[in-house]
Amino acid sequence: MPELPEVQILVDQLTSGLMGARITAVEVRDAKIKLRRDIVGRRVEQIWRRGKNLIFDLSGGLHLLAHLRMTGWFELKEPKRYRAAIRTGNGAIYFEDARRFGVMDVLASSQLHAFLAALGPEPLSKEGPNLSRVVKTTRPIKVALLDQRLIAGIGNIYASESLWWARVNPRRRANRLRVVELKALRAGIVKSLRKAIDYGPRIFNVQHFAVYDRGGKPCLRCRTPIRRIVQAQRSTFYCPRCQR
């Protein structure tokens, strides 16, 4: 599932081609997608990300909000199947989404502000990850990192990766983490997210994980077999030696 790094990579890709472009047509092929036709004729003024949400600022105070969910992605070349297409003077983008969980919506500025206000802090802010909301919960730290109200943008993949870099056990209660562990976790979050963003557009072809989806394989640090457990109905991968 696309998380913060993948969405940021997509923002960078789309920005280079669509900034300043005028929307000339909207095509919707899936009834579950609701796009207001009055975005036609508006210019794309900015493309940015908040957590896992992709946002197109349009002229006239409207905003196109997209959440990719499990399999959503915007393609610059027309794929065999797509749920919606937005055509501009600079070319088209196609919303491809095999499992059809992704959402797109057009919001006024007040609606967008209210929606985004519910999200937690950005982990890649200049000040670094703010974990003040995370450490107030008694939930396991891995589960807490998935809550977008506590910290925005981290999903199942980068929660496991961040905790491995920090050498923190995913079952540790978030409110029981020591100062030194929180410092290591902040660094681990930044490292795992930046590492993924640096892969660029080829991320899905070249990315290698430290622990995610490596159950039974040797830890890259100590060679102990990586263990898989289930937390909140999601798979968690960790090293039982490095992350005691």
What are the DSSP calls for 163-185, one per residue? HHHHT--TTSBGGG--HHHHHHH
Query: Quick one: average pLDDT of 140-145?
Result: 98
DSSP state letter for 48: E
Q: pLDDT at residue 140 above 90?
A: yes
User: What pLDDT score was predicted for residue 79?
Assistant: 95
Average pLDDT over residues 7-28: 96
Q: Do 49 and 42 touch, CB atoms closer than 8 A?
A: no
Above 90 in pLDDT, residue 1?
Answer: no
Mean predicted lDDT score pLDDT of the chain? 96
Spatial separation of the C-alpha atoms in residues 225 and 59, rounded to whole Å? 53
Tell me: pLDDT of 30 over 90. yes
Active site residues: 2-3, 52, 234
User: Which one, of 244, 137, 88, lies nearest residue 147 by Cα?
Assistant: 137
E strand or H helix at 144, and its extent? helix 141-146
Q: What per-residue confidence (pLDDT) applies to 23?
A: 98
Return all residues near 80 (Cβ < 8 A) that are at least 6 apart.
none
| Start and end residues for every CATH 3.20.190.10 domain found in the chain | 4-117
Residue 3 has a pLDDT of: 97
The answer to whether the beta carbons of residues 46 and 73 sit under 8 Å apart is: no
Q: How far apart are CA 40 and CA 159, in angstroms?
A: 39
Mean pLDDT over residues 62-74, rounded? 96
pLDDT band at 64 (very low <50, low <70, confident <90, very high): very high
Span(s) in the chain for CATH 1.10.8.50: 134-238
Tell me: the pLDDT tens digits for 86-129? Answer: 999 999 999 999 999 999 999 999 999 999 999 999 999 999 99
Q: Please tell me whether the overall predicted TM-score, pTM, comes out greater than 0.85 for this model.
A: yes
At 34, the pLDDT band (50, 70, 90 cuts) reads confident
Q: Is the pLDDT of residue 67 over 90?
A: yes
**Which of 139, 168, 164 lies closest to 214 in space, CA to CA?**
164
Q: Is 179 helix (H, G, I), strand (E, B) or coil?
A: helix
CATH 3.20.190.10 is right for the domain spanning 4-117: yes
3-state secondary structure of 67: strand
DSSP H/E element including 113: helix 109-117
Query: For domain 134-238, which CATH number applies: 3.30.70.360, 1.10.8.50, 3.40.50.620, 3.50.50.60?
Result: 1.10.8.50
CA torsion angle for 5, 52, 156, 224 (degrees, to 10)? 20
